[in-house]
């Protein structure tokens, strides 16, 4: 942009302000003006100027459609919209500005350095574009540096030889992949497709930093990769650079995994990356609205191969898979592809979509994941979590970066729903009413982040009298009704269509009412439903095909059995099944799949209702908790459709949880980090039976306070319970937490609660953890009397809890092994009881007391011959207590760690002579008498 004087630029800005002041956003003429500007203003900025005329001209300056002295585009917009009075002002004052620009030649180099002249592009009004351009220039520079570093050591002769082939192949691939840019909007609108950019909304993606050091060594488990709490860092991903580039060493990640549950948008995101790669090489402009604006980083990859793992054969290798799914008529030879991957592998990106959709992982894919082949190439692999769990057990499995797909944020969920209403119904105004219903529906508030579920919800709500179901299985039943009703309307309009009904293979009475009354069964009969269920079950769970989700038509007709062609046609007309064309150009295969895997899982659950034999087979086939996670949706649907059968499955899950509990030597660690997913399944099952007066059999729960309601859980099954409250509550609101009925409970953990607590009457309780819990006075009294009944208690942890007058009687806890008391307030009488009864805990291994006023508590550890760890910190002891502690410590010969910090030991004689296994002694800020110091010093010589 030419340099202009400060005076001229100020006149220009004054003119723009004057014009904006003359505009009224409520005026019809202004709306016409905005409508005309749609061809100039980026789509993402239209909402900004809709009600704010002051920024209209700034936005036009950003797009270079308006410059100082160049007002042609603005004049056209004003004239077309009817702003004749504003047009006259613009022509009059704009002409004066143009005349001043013509007086002098501002291109003179001497003026360029003058402070009297400025480059209008650097003014704050267009700073956003300039910053954006600077980022792009820096990105281009980074790309060149990385490419240069990648090229080092490459066979230059071979590289030159295939350079032209790469350029031609890239251009052809871009043209071919453009066919994938359109996606189906909804199953209710079978033929309606739209550009992925028009419907895609940013997803929340978190990066788990299982990365490598600059030298290539792993550091996923090192301290630098952990936060202060010891957990792995997670960072929200908002750019392609974060996905593919390790910024610490400017090297590409070679194995990136995208993990997410069904319906979260894994395939759509993979298509989005593919689309962005095409845009980057074509130089298309990037929208400045939302995340992932750095498409240019994808120019690091000269070639991108998109492979749908559904279609990869077990008996193939990677190059054959590329040829088999090649989207062009002219397929490169295997030698050319082999040389490309060998010489230019660093510049090749593979997208492997749908690892979980393969029953058997082909050797070629396994070799890629373990880096046995093509270690230079970059791979982005999408999968459901349960499949990732299986693969991670492989000792050679390597992950550079793990991406967790979380779905939509609240704001983007509403934006996505608005896109659906606009593209399907041309009714964007419905979003406000839908948003209110969405936030008031419990099912919706829990699942709005799942794009597929949100799509179904939006359409069911719009076509079901603007109401939302409160259970997931009801949502799918309503969706089936809509699909069926839509098809019946089509049949009525087309007289050539013949309605098909299949004779019953069983009686409607064998179905629950919620299924027998569906439009699907009423219009097409029970036999058709049974056939759909059989297909869903056999292909999903039996593993009879290489892929469990995509079926060849011949196999499908065979599975449908009698009148198979008619059943297939009906299922396709209903959109329950859909035809999928292969990406391959030469090997065109028409395959069939369910609308989505969750729909297949729904029909699988229905099949369990129709066949008790298959349900028994399914239950016996679950041999570990990973199999439970793999079939999570089918279990949830079954519980909702027929809870009594669902409980049979949950009993099996209980057995698996119990076995894992008993096998694990680190019980607490296992349940804190491995059991939460199973608890989520239990919780989803509970949501399906609320209001039906049904009790579910569950082994354990890891929940928040607002989700726990004992009336839904069978007390004869619940053995593990963890309840977390709200740590930031400013109002003390005591909640009644009555757990007395949980008679089989073995593990109980309560944290961040403010409650009236009634502990379970369980003889089996082995672990009790209470942290940051506020109890009422009456509750403390009851708590003390309840604790003395836990004769099998092995682990007791009390942290940050005011026990007031709670009498902690340990006399019956003869199996207690670990006792932690941290930041606990005790009265004098409580301390007295604690000291007198603690002597009965002869099997104690760990005794840790921090920041606790023990008053006159006599800590006699003479009977604790198995004690390994004694930790006393910031504890106030009387003289008599110190004397008892000193004389009794010499009876703990197995003590390995002794830690005493900020404690006045008075006349405590620390005799360490018998502690032959002592490995660590910590004494910080401790006051000792001279006699005590002599004894301590003389006995230290016995320690190795």
> What is the per-residue pLDDT across 316-327, written as a single tens digit (0 to 9) for each?
788 888 888 877
884 CA to centre of own chain: 55
The Cα 345–Cα 302 span in angstroms is: 10
Residue 511 pLDDT class (50, 70, 90 cuts): confident
- pLDDT of residue 909 exceeding 50, the answer is yes
CA 663 to chain CA centroid, Å, is 30
Per-residue pLDDT tens digits for 740-756: 888 888 888 888 887 77
What digits encode the pLDDT tens for the residues 455-466? 889 989 998 888
Q: What is the per-residue DSSP string for 514-581?
A: HHHTSHHHHHH-HHHHHHHHHHHHHHHHS--SSBSSEEEHHHHHHHH-TTHHHHHHHHHHHTSEEEEE
Cβ partners under 8 Å of residue 499, min gap 6: 488, 491, 523
- pLDDT at residue 175 in the model: 81
Strand bridging mode 846-850 / 378-383 = unpaired
Instruction: State the Cα–Cα distance between residues 808 and 797, nearest whole angstrom.
Output: 13
pLDDT in tens, 76-130: 778 777 788 888 888 888 888 887 776 654 334 333 344 455 545 444 344 444 5
pLDDT of residue 497: 63
Tokens 């057990």 sit on residue: 393
The answer to whether residue 144 scores a pLDDT higher than 70 is no
Confidence of residue 151 (pLDDT cuts 50, 70, 90): low
Residue 942 has pLDDT above 50, yes or no: yes
The 3-state DSSP class for residue 233 equals: coil
Structure tokens at 347: 């510049």
Whether pLDDT at 409 is above 50: yes
Crossing angle between the packed helical segments 410-420 and 431-440, to the nearest 10 degrees: 130
pLDDT of 394: 56
pLDDT at 487 over 70: yes
- pLDDT tens column, 521-534: 888 888 888 888 98
Residue 728 has pLDDT above 90, yes or no: no
CA 873 to chain centre: 41
Mean pLDDT of 873-901: 82
Mean pLDDT within 277-301: 82
pLDDT attached to residue 46: 61
Q: Which pLDDT score is estimated for 618?
A: 93
For residue 732, pLDDT beyond 60: no
Predicted pLDDT of residue 705: 65
The DSSP code for 203 is P
Amino acid 277: pLDDT: 92
In tens, the pLDDT along 581-611 reads 556 544 555 678 888 888 999 999 999 998 8
Torsion of CA 409, 414, 420, 423, to 10 degrees: -120
In Å, the largest CA–CA distance within the chain is 108
Please report which confidence band the pLDDT of residue 160 belongs to, taking 50, 70 and 90 as the band edges: low
Residue percentage of the chain with pLDDT more than 90: 10
Question: Which residues make beta-bridge pairs with 235?
Answer: 207
What's the rounded Cα separation, in Å, for the pair 109 and 113? 8
Q: Which of 653, 750, 745, 735 is nearest to 698 (CA)?
A: 653
Per-residue pLDDT, 47: 61
**648 has a pLDDT exceeding 80:** yes
> Is the pLDDT reported for residue 380 higher than 90?
yes
Range name among 378-387, 493-502, 807-816, 920-929 with the lowest pLDDT average: 493-502
pLDDT of residue 548: 56
Neighbours of 566 (CB within 10 A): 14
pLDDT, tens digit, 9 for 90 and up, residues 183-240: 777 777 765 667 777 778 888 998 875 444 434 444 333 323 444 333 445 688 888 9
User: What are the counts of helices (DSSP H) followed by strands (DSSP E) for the chain?
Assistant: 37, 33
Query: Worst-scoring range by mean pLDDT, 146-150, 694-698, 743-747, 789-793?
Result: 146-150
How high is the pLDDT of residue 10? 79
Q: Are strands 550-552 and 348-353 parallel, antiparallel or unpaired?
A: unpaired
pLDDT at 574: 86
What pLDDT is recorded for position 634? 93
**195 beta partners:** 182
Most confident of 91-105, 211-225, 283-297, 784-798: 784-798
Whether the CB-CB separation of 443 and 687 falls below 8 Å is answered with: yes
pLDDT tens digits along 344-355: 888 999 999 988
> What does the pLDDT average to over 634-654?
93
Which of these, 244, 265, 139, lies nearest to 202 by C-alpha position? 265
Please calculate the CA angle 408-409-413 and round it to the nearest 5 degrees.
60
CA distance to 283, 639, 640, 707, per residue, from 684 (Å): 46, 9, 10, 11
Query: Mean pLDDT, the chain, as a whole number?
Result: 77
């Amino acid at each position: 942009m030419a340099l202009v004087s400060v005076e001229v630029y100020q006149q220009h800005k004054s003119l723009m302000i004057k014009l904006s002041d003359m505009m009224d956003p409520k005026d019809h003429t202004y709306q016409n003006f905005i409508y005309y500007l749609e061809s100039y203003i980026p789509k993402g900025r239209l909402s900004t100027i809709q009600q704010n005329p002051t920024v209209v001209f700034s936005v036009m300056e950003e797009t270079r459609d308006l410059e100082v002295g160049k007002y042609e585009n603005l004049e056209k917009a004003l004239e077309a919209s009817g702003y004749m009075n504003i047009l006259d002002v613009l022509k009059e004052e704009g002409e004066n500005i143009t005349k001043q620009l013509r007086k002098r030649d501002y291109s003179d180099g001497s003026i360029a350095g003058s402070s009297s002249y400025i480059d209008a592009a650097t003014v704050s009004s267009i700073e956003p574009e300039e910053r954006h351009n600077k980022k792009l220039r820096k990105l281009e520079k980074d790309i060149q540096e990385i490419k240069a570093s990648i090229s080092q050591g490459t066979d230059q002769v071979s590289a030159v030889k295939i350079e032209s082939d790469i350029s031609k192949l890239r251009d052809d691939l871009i043209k071919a992949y453009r066919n994938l840019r359109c996606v189906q909007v909804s199953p209710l609108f079978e033929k309606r497709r739209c550009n992925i950019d028009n419907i895609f909304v940013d997803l929340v993606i978190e990066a788990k930093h299982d990365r490598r050091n600059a030298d290539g060594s792993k550091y996923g488990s090192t301290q630098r990769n952990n936060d202060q709490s010891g957990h792995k860092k997670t960072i929200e991903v908002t750019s392609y650079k974060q996905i593919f580039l390790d910024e610490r060493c400017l090297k590409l990640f070679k194995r990136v995994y995208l993990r997410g549950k069904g319906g979260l948008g894994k395939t759509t995101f993979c298509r989005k990356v593919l689309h962005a790669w095409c845009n980057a090489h074509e130089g298309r402009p990037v929208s400045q609205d939302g995340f992932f604006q750095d498409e240019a980083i994808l120019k690091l990859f000269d070639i991108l191969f998109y492979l749908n793992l559904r279609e990869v054969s077990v008996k193939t290798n990677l190059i054959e898979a590329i040829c088999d799914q090649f989207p062009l008529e002219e397929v490169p030879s295997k030698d050319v592809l082999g040389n490309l991957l060998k010489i230019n592998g660093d510049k090749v990106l593979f997208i492997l979509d749908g690892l979980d959709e393969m029953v058997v992982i082909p050797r070629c894919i396994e070799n890629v994941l373990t880096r046995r082949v093509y270690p230079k190439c970059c791979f982005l692999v999408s999968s459901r979590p349960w499949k990732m769990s299986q693969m991670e057990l492989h000792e050679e499995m390597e992950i550079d970066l793990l991406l967790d797909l979380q779905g939509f944020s609240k704001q983007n969920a509403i934006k996505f729903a608005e896109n659906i209403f606009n593209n399907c119904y041309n009714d964007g105004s419905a979003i406000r009413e839908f948003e209110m219903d969405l936030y008031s529906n419990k099912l919706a508030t829990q699942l709005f982040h799942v794009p597929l579920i949100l799509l179904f919800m939006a359409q069911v709500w719009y076509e079901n009298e603007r109401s939302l179901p409160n259970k997931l299985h009801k949502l799918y039943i309503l969706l089936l009704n809509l699909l069926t009703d839509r098809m019946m309307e089509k049949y009525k309009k087309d007289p050539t269509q013949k309605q098909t009904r299949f004779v019953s293979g069983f009686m409607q009475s064998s179905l629950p009412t919620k299924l027998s009354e569906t439009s699907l069964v009423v219009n097409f009969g029970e036999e058709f439903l049974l056939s759909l269920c059989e297909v869903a079950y056999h292909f999903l769970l039996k593993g009879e095909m290489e892929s469990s989700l995509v079926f060849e038509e011949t196999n499908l007709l065979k599975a449908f059995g009698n009148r198979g062609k008619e059943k297939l046609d009906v299922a396709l007309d209903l959109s329950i099944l859909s035809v999928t064309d292969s990406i391959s150009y030469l090997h065109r295969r028409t395959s069939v799949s369910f609308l989505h895997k969750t729909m297949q899982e729904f029909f699988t659950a229905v099949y369990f209702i129709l066949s008790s034999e298959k349900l028994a087979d399914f239950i016996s086939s679950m041999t570990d908790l990973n199999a439970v996670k793999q079939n999570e949706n089918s279990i949830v649907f079954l519980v909702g459709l027929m809870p009594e059968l669902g409980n049979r499955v949950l009993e099996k899950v209980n057995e698996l949880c119990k076995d894992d509990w008993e096998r694990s030597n680190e019980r607490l660690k296992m349940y804190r980090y491995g059991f939460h997913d199973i608890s989520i399944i239990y919780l989803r099952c509970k949501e399906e039976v609320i209001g039906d007066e049904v009790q579910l059999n569950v082994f354990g729960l890891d929940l928040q306070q607002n989700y726990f309601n004992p009336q839904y859980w069978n007390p004869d099954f619940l053995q593990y319970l963890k309840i977390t409250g709200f740590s930031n509550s400013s109002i003390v609101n005591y909640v009644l937490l009555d757990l007395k009925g949980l008679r089989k409970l073995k593990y109980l953990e309560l944290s961040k609660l403010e409650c009236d607590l009634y502990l379970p009457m369980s003889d089996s309780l082995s672990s009790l953890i209470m942290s940051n819990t506020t109890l009422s006075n009456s509750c403390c009294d009851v708590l003390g009397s309840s604790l003395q009944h836990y004769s099998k208690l092995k682990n007791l942890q009390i942290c940050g809890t005011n026990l007031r007058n709670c009498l902690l009687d340990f006399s019956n806890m003869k199996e207690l092994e670990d006792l932690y008391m941290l930041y606990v307030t005790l009265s004098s009488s409580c301390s007295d009881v604690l000291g007198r009864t603690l002597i009965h805990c002869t099997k104690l291994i760990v005794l840790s007391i921090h920041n606790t006023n023990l008053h006159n508590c006599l800590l006699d550890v003479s009977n604790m011959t198995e004690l390994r760890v004694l930790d006393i910190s910031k504890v106030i002891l009387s003289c008599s207590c110190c004397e008892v502690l000193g004389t009794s410590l010499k009876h703990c010969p197995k003590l390995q760690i002794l830690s005493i910090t900020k404690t006045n030991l008075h006349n405590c004689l620390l005799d360490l002579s018998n502690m032959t296994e002592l490995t660590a002694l910590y004494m910080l800020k401790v006051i000792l008498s001279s006699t005590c110091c002599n004894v301590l010093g003389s006995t230290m010589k016995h320690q190795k």
